[in-house]
Structures are given as C-alpha cells and as structure tokens.
Amino acid sequence: MQLQEDRAMSYKKTPGIFISKRTSIIILILLVFICITIGLMAGLIKQGCPSDVIVTSEPLSTGATPKNMSTTTTLPVPPPTTPPCHEVWCNMRLPDYLVPIHYNLTQFPHFEHNESSFDGNVSVSIQVKQDTKILLIHINYLEIRQTNVKAANGDDLLINRTFAYEPNLFWVVEMDKEIKLGSIVFLQIEFHGSLNNGLVGYYRSNYEDARTGEKRSLATTKFQPTDARKAFPCLDEPALKATFTMTLIHKKGFVPLSNMPPEKNITRLDGFIETTFQKSPPMPTYLLAFIVCDFEYVEGYTKDKLPVRIYGRPDMINQTGFALEAAIKTTEWFNEWTNMTYQLPKLDHVNIPDYPTGATEHWGVITYGRGRLFYDPTTELTNRQQSLASVIVHEVAHNYFGNTYTCYWWDDTWLNEGFASYFEHKAMGDMELYKDWDMMEQIVPSTQNMLFSDSLLPSNPVIMQAETLDEIRGTFNRVTYSKGQAIVNMINAVMGDDKFQEGIQKLLKKYEYKSITTDQLWAELETVMPPGFDFKESFDPWVRQTGYPVLEVHQMNDTIKVSQSRFLKDINATYNKNDSQWGYKWSVPLMWVTSNNQNGNPWLKWNAEGESEFVINSFDPVNDVIKLNKGNRGFYRVNYSRDMWIKLVDKLMQKHDTFGAGDRANLIDDAFEIAMSLRIGYDTALNVTRYMAQERSPAPWKALRNNVIFLNSMFQNHPMYFCLRKHIQKITEPSMRQLSFEDVGTHIERLNRQDIVAIACEFGEQRCLDGATRYFLDWIKSNGTLKLPFNLERFIWKYGFQQNDGKMEWNFLLDRINITDFKTLGILSETRKPWLLNQLIYYAMDETKISSTLTFNVFSMIARNPIGKLILWDWYRNNWNKLVKKFGIINLRMRWLVLIITRDFNTVVKLREVKAFLKQFPEAASKAEQRAVIQDIQRNIGWMDKNEKAIIDWLAAYAC
C-alpha cells in the first residue's frame, strides 16, 4: 500500500540533487546489468531449502533469538534449475525419530451469531530418538501465533527459525542446537483458526429447532483421516499414538463433550467456563473429538455399569430410544465376544446436524451424520431401522478394530473398516435384539454387489498405495469396506468360528494401544491354526491384487476338477498379468457341499498349473450333486460344466432347500453374471430361476431383483417381453399370495416383501398390482390424507398410478404439485400415456409449473420409464437449441442427459439416431462422453446379438 500511496502523491519541486538525462540513462543500464548478474548468480548457488518453502514471521518465543528470519515467499523456480530437496520436511511422512507422548490441548471456539473461529494452544511432549535440529508438526488452515520449545526441566530451548512447508502441511521448527537422542521436549504452540473451512477438521454446524424455528449452532470436529491438523498442530499419522488432556472453554449453558468424562470445571473471570477432561488412553489424532453444543441426552447402562448416552438436538431427542438400546446391547456383545472390557469410562453417541460421512468412531464420543440416531417406528422404513442399527454396530466395532489396535498406515485401512463392516453382520446375527433379522444371510447380497463392482477393470486392491492426501482419502472406498468385509467373512469361514474368535482375541490383547499391519494380522491368526498353514501365502493375493477368480468346475464320477482365471464382466477386456506378482491367480478355499450334506475345504493354490482336483468319498455321481463356495462365503464365482448346471437346477426343482439360502442366492447371482460375461448362455441363468416359485428367503430374491433389472431393460420393447413377464409372474405369485400386499410380519418378512413386490409389480403380477391399486385409489379418495404403509408407499404410488393414470388421477396430482414437489413429480413420471408424458416435459420447461432446479430430475425420472424414454429422446433431439438457450452449454446435467436417456438403447436404428444427433450437436457431450454413449449402445447391441436367440428359445419353451 505504501508504494501505491507514494505514486499517488502530487508532484512538486523540492530541494535535492539533480542529474542529467544522459547520466540517468547510464545509471539505469548499470542497474539492469547488476540485477541480471545477481539473478544468474542466485540461480547457480545451491539453496539450503527448496524454493517453495514459505517462511512466516511469528511472535518471538520467550528467551529465543531469531536468526535468518524472513517474511518473503520465494516463488518456485521451474525445473531443471530447482535442486532436489533432501530436507526432512520434503518427505510426505513424518520422520520416525519424532514420537509424541502426550498432548495438552485447549480450544476456545467462537460460533454464536456471526462468529466462526477458534483460538487454541497445545503443548506436545515429544520423545526424540536421534540427534536432530528439526521438529516437524502438521498444520492446515491454521495461523500460528507463537512457538516455544522447552526441555524436560522447563528450560527454554533456542529456536533458529520457524516456517510453514505447505506441500506437506508441516510447521517446521529449526532449533539453534541439536536436540540429543533420548531427549523429551515440549513443543508449545498458540494458534488461531476458522470454523468455516468445510465440514472436516474443526467446524461450525447449524440446525433449526423444529419446535421454535430458532437457528442454533455448535462447534464440532471430524478428523479422520488427516484433518486433525486443521484443528490443532499435531503429529497427524495413525501410528503415532499419544495420550490427550483436553480443555474446552465455553459459555455457561452449553454442553462440552470429548473422548473422556469431565474432570473439573473452572469459571473464569470473564464468565466463561473451562472444562478439563480426564487423560485419555493412547490413541491417534484422528480419534480425538471435541464438541460444544446445546444438546440433550438419554442415558442407560451396560451390565458392567458403563454409562451410555445418546446426545441429540432437543427437538429430536425423543426419537433416540431404539438407538440407546442398540448401543447398550452392542457394547455388551463386543465385551463378551472379544473377552476384552471396553477401555474408557463412558461411551457417548452424538448426532451432528451437518456431517460429511455416516459416522466416525471417535473413541468414547462417536459422532453420527444427520438423523442417524433418530428413528420413529410409526413413520419410517424397516430398512431405515436396520441402517441405523448397522451404523451403531459398525462404530462400536471400531472400539476394537481401529481404536484398540489401529492400522499402522492408511494403505491398511481395511484392518479398521473391513473388520468393522464384517462385524456389523456377525454381531447383529448373534444378538438377541436382532434375532429375526438374518444378518449373516444378508451379508450375501453385500458380497454379491462387491463382486459386481470388482469385476470391472477400474477397481483397486484392498491394500492400495496411500502416499498423498488424495490417495489416503481414496482408501475409504467401497473396496476397503465391502471387499474387506468379504475377505474377513472368508477368513472366518476358513478358520471356523472358534479359531477365528480365539485368533482375534489374541490379536486384540497383543496389540492393545498399538498399531498393526496386514502381515502382523496374518502372523497372529496363524498361531491358532494347524502347523503348516501359511496365512500370508493364502490371503495376500486377495488383498494385494485387484479382482477375483472364476472357477471352472468339471465332474468325472467322484472326481472334481477345478481351474481358475480372473473374472471380468467384459470378457474382451484386456489387462497385463505381469502387473501382479501372482499373475492374477488366487489361493482359493473351495468350501464345497453336496446334496447329501458332505462338505470339505481343499485349496486351489494360486501357483498351481492347470487344473487341480479332489475326490469326494461316498459320493453318488448319479444322484448327488456338488456345489462349491458354500454359503457364498468365498469371494469368487463358480462356473460349472453344462451337465453340472442342469443337475443343480434339477435338485433345486425337486427340493429347493437342499442347499441353504445363501447357496441358492449364490447360484442365481453367479449364473446371471457369468452369462453376462458370455461364459454360459442366458438359458442356463434363466433355468436357475425356475425353482423360485418355492423360494421364500430374502437373499435369493435380492439376487434375482439385482440381476433381472438389466434383462428387463433390454427386453422391454421386445416382441417376447410378454413371455418374460409371464415367467416372472409365475414365480412371484406364490410369494405374493403368502406375503400379501400388507406391511405386516417380522422384520425380515417386511424387507423380503419389498424385493418381491418390486419384481412382481414391475412384471405385472396381478395380486401385486391389485394391492397397489387399492391403496392408491383409497389415498385419492381421502384427498391424500390416508396414511399409507410406509414400507410399500413408493410401490403404491408407482404401480397404483400406472394402473390408474386417468384424467381424474392426473389432475388430482397436478393440483397437489408445487414447483419443488419432488415426490409428486416422481409419481407423475410413471404414467404410460404418451400425451401425459409430453405434458410433464412441457411443465418441466415452465418455471411457473416446476422449478428449473428440478428440470433435469424430472427428465431423469421420465428416462427410467420405458415409454417416457423414447418420448423424451425425440423431444430432446428436437429441442436441443431450446435447452441450450435456457440452461447454457456448460450445464453438466444437460450433457449427462444424453447418457441417461440412451443407456438402454440396443438397436442399430437407435445407434444411428444417436450418432446423427452427436454429429449435428457435438457440443451435447464431450468427446469422452460421446465415446461412452456409443460404446454402451454398441455393447448392448452386441449383448442382444449373442443372447437374444437363447433367451427367446428358453422363453418359448418354459414361459409361453
């Protein structure tokens, strides 16, 4: 600013020294020459620090003398003149010679009215394991106001300089003298930060009290995996466990929460209260949490007198009864199963109004996303209750898997998340509270969904590289959770329940308050297994390479021959086998079972050449049949020879419960997915469904529902679609007759009814359509006041309206609609009448009828309608310029619309139309999007070419 002010001053003559014009030019040339020379010399002189180090001025530490201080930021010098940085702060990871012991942390949040900041100070005791002059600590979005370093005796240590190294988010403290090996120092930092840097770190959350309309705020935290550094300077890595003493400064009337119970409260002279909490056990920074809120709580106790509380906003606290019961019973189950008492003196569960994830396992104070702890059994779906219970069990499981032990580094995130995901099912399957939920059977659809995802080339191994912040965040993905869960399920199946429990108990005791790696897990589990069992050899291929195998199985009398290859949904997809040290082979536990109840578990080793074989004793090859992957507990697919598939189907037709529900679901899912990859014909997959008129268990229906969606989309406009509908009607009718179109029965019956109704109504089963129609018309007659059964509500609206989309019903819905009524718009989009769909498209373009923010939502809903999709496609092509004028060419949702509308096209005629449209309007999609659209249609055409005849022949033989 001073330079700008000097230039703005008015010119006037003043006394001084004057020089000639010629002299001034000479001086100017000399100055330019000197600047160039200095610049060249500076580029040749090797720097002690990298060029992008940011040096920040700060208040001086007591007794410290600043040296080499600078307040300038050096701009990066482009390569190759920039020398490589060999300083310790240039590594992304902290050096292993800095070990945190304890944090004394004080936080003072300001979040009321228009305030949104915090002030804090921290003292970190650090053990130094080698001579060093450098201390490093993580920071992000923090203003450092003062830095001190003290020796163990309290003496101030001289600081040479401090600066922020932004690439790795380090605050660097360079000492004047070396700190000696074995020393303990106290790094003390005062800091300031904002509560408005997103919903991670330390942030302000807001809500509106539904009773009073008052807007309320709170200050809360969410650190996992690498955002503790946004709240306070810390050594922010999972293996660096330390104890914490937390102090929160807050107004009277607010509730302070942290991992431990409060130890003391002090009222300050300014009227604020300092609440200091008890010292925590050793834990990583991401498990620390602190909250200042106005919440209320409900409380209960476990058998061991552990206090368990559910905290929530006052206007919702009356909906936490189920969550409290679930939290108490879950804690009791884990204490018993692990033979390890929960280590902390209390366990709080806190619902945060604004939260970026489902929940986080902060030790002693678990935080949950919006509404996760609230449940009203009179108005909410059965699925919602199960989701709430599953999240609570998952987070309580982390008290052991992630908190008691912690993954050493984020590449092993599955040791936390995979185990917690598995124990959602194992714990709930064993708990009396959920005895009729069949949770271990429900793990089968979860595994099958992951098998689908992992059969695509853009997948990743369970253990994946995590060397940048983006890569670390990327480890929290579906593979880590769901495939990790499936691998733990397979390990449990291989070990057996007793050995698995023994091995986990030993693991938890050995690594309590410590960090572990996958190799340490293998080593500990191996100690309870028979001599010679090699966990690393058996399971490393499952977690360290992408994908999974499909087994090809052939039977010759009592001998079973098995070979393997990597399963990819697209059989023509290419990959390099040398990318994996195992060549994309796996050691496979075959886990077979026969129709006469024999079973075994030989291994197909990853390095076996060609086929492996085993013999089944007392096996009648004529009347008995074998099935591999018992209970679908292995993470692989099995393709049998044609004769074996026929025998399996015959056995299911004779007595469907010859195999368990998980096995039946496994056969359905494998048959359809293997058919999709062209390894078998769709006649084989459809053959497996013939027995399902006898089926009453949820897992097989879930498998059918997931797999029939694609078949339905490909055949909706086919002349033989009537026969496909007839077949599905035939197999769903007995279940519809038994379950009825009423929302009654056990938890699992309510869930199962949803899957069966979704299939039955979609394919026109009359009992299902009659039920939807009855409720829909009664709802119309009540002027929309009738309370519909909430587990069936969406089916009533969809199929009830499809059967009754006359003028009266259409106008009734139109009269109820407002410009942002998403639900009613969804009902209207289900009509099968072309003129009504055209009217809805017209409304979507009229902002007085429907908000423009919902235009593309309406289009997407219409595109799911098989008739609406064709109408919308014609309208879209003819009105592209109108869309551009209204929404602009850079609107991504407009460009995505072409993908949504065309994704089920499967004829050459439609392919020509799409190509012509994209040629005329190339701006409608990027080149990559255009390729994706065309490839999807070509893939669908190819699928029809290869499978249409087999499906038509099968439908003609068995359905029409």
DSSP string, 642-659: HHHHHHHHHHHHH-GGGS
Tokens of 481: 């959770």
- Return all residues near 813 (Cβ < 8 A) that are at least 6 apart: 801, 824, 827, 828
The answer to whether 189 and 158 are in contact (CB under 8 A) is no
Class of residue 154 by CB neighbours under 10 A (exposed 0-12, middle 13-18, buried 19+): exposed
Rounded distance, CA 170 to CA 139, Å?
Answer: 6
549: left (phi over 0), alpha (psi -120 to 50) or beta: beta
Rounded distance, CA 818 to CA 825, Å?
Answer: 9
Tokens of 72: 């300038």
Supply the DSSP symbol for 254: P
Ligand-binding site membership of 349 (annotated)? no
Catalytic residue among 58, 332, 395, 441: 395
Rounded distance, CA 893 to CA 900, Å?
Answer: 10
The answer to whether 599 and 633 are in contact (CB under 8 A) is no
Ligand-binding site membership of 394 (annotated)? yes
Pair type for strands 347-351 and 365-368: parallel
CB neighbours of residue 743 within 10 Å: 17
- SS3 sequence of 700-738: HHHHHHHHHHHHHHHHCCCCCHHHHHHHHHHHHHHHHHH
Cα-Cα-Cα-Cα torsion 410, 412, 413, 417, nearest 10 degrees, comes to -170
Rounded distance, CA 146 to CA 181, Å?
Answer: 26
First to last CA, the chain: 86
Helices (H) and strands (E) in the chain, counts: 29, 30
Crossing angle of helices 766-781 and 793-803, in 10° steps, is 90
Of 633, 643, 634, 575, nearest in space to 604 by CA: 634
Rounded distance, CA 430 to CA 413, Å?
Answer: 26
Tokens of 490: 């397979």
Name the strands in the sheet holding 255-258, side by side, starting at the edge strand that comes first in the sequence: 201-208, 215-222, 290-293, 255-258
CB neighbours of residue 282 within 10 Å: 16
Q: Establish whether 296 is a catalytic residue.
A: no
Rounded distance, CA 760 to CA 752, Å?
Answer: 12
Residue type, 686: L
Peptide bond into 256 cis (omega under 30): no
The Cα-based distances of 897 to 141, 526, 844, 857 in angstroms read: 38, 53, 14, 10
- Return all residues near 497 (Cβ < 8 A) that are at least 6 apart: none
- Return all residues near 133 (Cβ < 8 A) that are at least 6 apart: 160, 174, 175, 176, 177, 178, 179
Q: Is 946 helix (H, G, I), strand (E, B) or coil?
A: helix
Rounded distance, CA 312 to CA 372, Å?
Answer: 10
Tokens of 336: 């018993």
Rounded distance, CA 244 to CA 553, Å?
Answer: 57
- Return all residues near 400 (Cβ < 8 A) that are at least 6 apart: 334, 338, 340, 508
Which residues are designated catalytic?
395
